[in-house]
Amino acid sequence: MDFSWSDELTQLFAAIERFATAELNEGIIERDERGEFSRDGWRKCGEFGIHGLPVEEQYGGSGLDALGTVAALERLGYACKDNGLVFSINAHMWTAMMPLVAFGTEEQKQRYLPGLASGKLIGANGTSEPDTGSDAYSMRTTAAKQGDRYVLNGSKIFVTNGPVADLLVVYANTNPDAGPRGISGFLIDAPSPGMTVTRKIDKMGVRTSPMAEIYFDNCEVPETNRLGKEGAGQALFTHSMVWERGCILASAVGSMQRLLETCVRYARERKAFGQSIGKFQQVAGKLVDMKLRVETARRMLYYHAWLIAQGRSAVMEAAMNKLYISESWVRCCEDAIQIHGGYGYMTEYEIERELRDAIGSRLYSGTNEIQRNLIAAMLGV
């Protein structure tokens, strides 16, 4: 495994850092308080090429492999303090675009991918339901075939980008008696008759990433908008999860690196009892722990992406990534607050927001308890 970068990629990563630092951080404290999604930031990221990083050039993307893409997103997370915007980009990329890349027909790709890759279209995913949670395959949303159409009825909750989405990848039961094998995926244009965004959901963290609950009441979807074969929803969802779980926290690795550097500077500059606080063993120990987490998380992230780029199975590695990086991110934020003391608790220092943003990573893309169950099962226990 060679994780060294070509000159072209090195220049791209440096350009992403300059772009994000200059264009994406203004007013983040105020936008977080308001729970305001940055459409301007989204547009700028689209124009820069962030959204289309893993999409083939023929559909308007950059054609990067998984390894190059996660490294680019890591640099975005390092330079962009708007974790909500970055989370929305990740949700758009992994849960809407990549299923289309893998399972879409050529007509579907031509119709949707250029807009998704450029950011002119915003993608979302409808999987979770109010009564199912992590038991995704127990979904109650149905899609009944009627002629050349499907009629959807049901609801989806925790839909990231839901209030602003132009295209949703929605999973529904086409054969409720078949269990997971009766689930199918659909591409639904928003707005569509019979589809209602019922409410915007306020959250503890990643507040600048919009979230909604969506109802389908006899919502008609053309058969041509079915994604993959009927009943292929389980395969589609599993494929999507390998990308999502393994890659969605690439930006968190960048955020952890930024936190580490911030804390090292503070530990050198802050004086107590006649010396820099970094000289105290307990503070130095926290910095060392942060460093270990960052380096371990980065290597796990890159290894998972390398496996995907090699066309190899990465199901367990995806679950391990999601579990380890999310826990490490939360711990790094907690250590950063302790190192900064009372200042770390203040909004203006922007560390308390990092912790609020990080906590959600233990829940989305399958809770960490679910990840442990998956890993244990793959170990044969």
- Among 244, 317, 352, 354, the active-site one is 244
CB 183 within 8 A of CB 172: yes
| Full 3-state SS string of 15-74 | HHHHHHHHHCCCCHHHHHHHCCCCHHHHHHHHHHCCCCCCCCHHHCCCCCCHHHHHHHHH
Owner of token pair 């301007």: 40
244 carries an active-site annotation: yes
Q: Angle at CA 70, nearest 5°, toward 350 and 170?
A: 90
Active site (catalytic) residues = 244
